[in-house]
Structure 1
Amino acid sequence: MPYAELVATLRAAGCVFAEDEARVLTEAARDDASLAWMLARRVAGEPLELVVGFADFCGLRIAVAPGVFVPRQRSSALVRAAAAGLAAGDVVVDLCCGTGALGAALAAGVPGLEVYAADVDPDAVACARRNLPPDRVFEGDLYEALPGDLRGRVAALVVNAPYVPTDDIALMPPEARDHEHRVALDGGADGLDVQRGVVAGAGAWLAPGGRLLIESSRAQAPVTAALMAAAGLATAITLDDEVDGTVVIGTRS
């Protein structure tokens, strides 16, 4: 298919970044038949990342899978904030890991890290094991999934927990609400239910000086920071306008 026709077809289907998507599809296609098959899936509304099998994130190709939360570019703000305080030998935990993109990006950016990940969704765990050492990815509810010998040793606990209020899920783009598991999106009535559990348990797992870094929205960030402060963590909020990312950081004394 001529490139101009591919772009026009994507644009007619409502793809805002039709040129970018056309490039990704063209590079991923093995031949004209596979390109036509992938284009049909995309035009039908399937997320681009699922069509091609990967998401570009922090310079990496992250394997994705049906139902698993696809990493967003705004989460690169969390990666940069976490990496700034890490060195070889540090223990990092990617909690609510989804594809494991945060842990994979940190491992690539700071060589020598000891990276672990966990998620309650078995599909997410299976996917994350494609992006991280599989023996360091665990299934379970928050800290219950982690090996006990990590307690008190974690230098950075990076978390992109679901933070969409339940009633707002219906307003999300169909690529998310129709193709990602509810457990990856639903943060409860105010969007902060899972974050509360993360904050409540963090102190026992963080090393002295260790940091809890949680992605949030700008509106929710002050509440997340207050939760951390109530848990005895020194708090800060970082904003990254370039990717529209918001990160709340709590540091253990």
Structure 2
Amino acid sequence: MPPYSPATVVSALRAAGCVFAEDEAELILATARTPDELAAMVDRRVAGLPLEHVLGWAEFHGLRVSVEPGVFVPRRRTEFLVDQALAQAPHASVVVDLCCGSGAVGAALAAALGRVELHAADVDPAAVRCARRNIAPFGGHAHTGDLFDALPDDLRGRVGILAANVPYVPTDEVDLLPAEARDHEPLVALDGGADGLGVLRRVAAAAPEWLAPGGCVLVETSERQAPSAVEAFTQAGLSARLAVSEELYANVVIGVRP
């Protein structure tokens, strides 16, 4: 096969159904270091691999975040969760990124807040390896384990911002997700249980003992699930409210420890 030209890259991506073929081609052409690497990247994208996995990075809240194949790709709408956390706790000194995936949320919070004690945790070892690299520039610590079990005990009662981008797709709706997510991202990062709120309820129930007085926990959910999510926070003893971005289709539940 002859080397790809910019025009043939665009044509190949468009033929594969990439809606933003021109933009994606520009990113791939800028990232590839050799003609062989360019051909391999185009082939992987045409085969359906998420663009971020092809590139090896994702743009998130002004950062270029490393993303490996098999690791959850940070969504642009989750930037709203970061902004809500910064507005709620602009002087937080201890930050935890739970269900961290690539660690994008923790890295973005640390980049904005300055010098903080940063911890990220995920049940998926591949995600933790990826997160460790992304939070290293901020002196962050990455931990493997199930939710709070992964965290050092000395964080109890000290956390100013607990960001938990939990999985919230109901189990019987996972098959309805786009193929890029369904086929290339870990199920544990997508499946939130029967009603999609199983992990969220566990986070809400345990969060108060980890938060500092006035500390906040933030989770993303769907519009349909939001009332039940707020109720879970309230039942855990948190002062709860819902923040919505119609532009980003983002719904974030914010709970504050009294």
Which TM-score tier does this pair reach, normalised by the shorter chain? over 0.9
Q: Partner of 2:18: helix, strand, or coil? A: coil
Q: CA deviation digits over 1:33-87, x for unaligned, max 9?
A: 2211110111011111111111111111111122211101010000100111334
What is the alpha-carbon distance in structure 2 between the residues aligned to residue 156 and residue 19 of structure 1? Answer: 38
Q: Partner of 1:84: helix, strand, or coil? A: helix
Q: For residue 146 of structure 2, what is the aligned residue in structure 1? A: 141
Q: For residue 34 of structure 1, what is the aligned residue in structure 2? A: 37
What is the alpha-carbon distance in structure 2 between the residues aligned to residue 89 and residue 16 of structure 1? Answer: 40
| TM-score w.r.t. length of structure 2 | 0.95
Any stretches of 5+ residues in structure 2 without a counterpart?
none
Q: For residue 173 of structure 2, what is the aligned residue in structure 1? A: 168
Superposed, 1:24-103 pairs within 5 Å as: 24-87=27-90, 90-103=93-106
Equivalent residue letter for 2:78? S
What is the alpha-carbon distance in structure 2 between the residues aligned to residue 89 and residue 188 of structure 1? Answer: 31
Find out whether 1:155 has 2:180 as its counterpart: no
Equivalent residue letter for 2:222? S
Equivalent residue letter for 1:230? Q
Moved more, 20-29 or 87-96: 87-96
Equivalent residue letter for 1:15? C
Equivalent residue letter for 1:132? I
What is the alpha-carbon distance in structure 1 between the residues aligned to residue 247 and residue 107 of structure 2? Answer: 21
What is the alpha-carbon distance in structure 2 between the residues aligned to residue 35 and residue 19 of structure 1? Answer: 15
Q: How much has 1:210 moved relative to structure 2?
A: 0.6
What is the alpha-carbon distance in structure 2 between the residues aligned to residue 68 and residue 33 of structure 1? Answer: 24
Q: For residue 215 of structure 2, what is the aligned residue in structure 1? A: 210
Any stretches of 5+ residues in structure 1 without a counterpart?
none
1:231 pairs with one of 233, 236, 253: 236
What is the alpha-carbon distance in structure 1 between the residues aligned to residue 88 and residue 149 of structure 2? Answer: 26
Q: For residue 6 of structure 1, what is the aligned residue in structure 2? A: 9
Q: How much has 1:135 moved relative to structure 2?
A: 6.2
Equivalent residue letter for 2:98? L
Contact 1:87 1:112 survives alignment (8 Å) = no
What is the alpha-carbon distance in structure 2 between the residues aligned to residue 109 and residue 190 of structure 1? Answer: 34
Measured on the aligned residues, the alpha-carbon RMSD in Å equals: 1.3
Moved over 2 A (4+): 1-5, 85-89
Q: How many residues align?
A: 253
Contact 1:88 1:113 survives alignment (8 Å) = no
Identity of aligned residues (%): 56
1:106 pairs with one of 109, 113, 132: 109
Equivalent residue letter for 2:166? A
What is the alpha-carbon distance in structure 2 between the residues aligned to residue 217 and residue 181 of structure 1? Answer: 19
Q: How much has 1:244 moved relative to structure 2?
A: 1.5
| TM-score w.r.t. length of structure 1 | 0.96
- Alpha carbons of structure 1 residues 87 and 238: separation in structure 2 relative to 1, 3 Å: closer
What is the alpha-carbon distance in structure 2 between the residues aligned to residue 239 and residue 4 of structure 1? Answer: 40
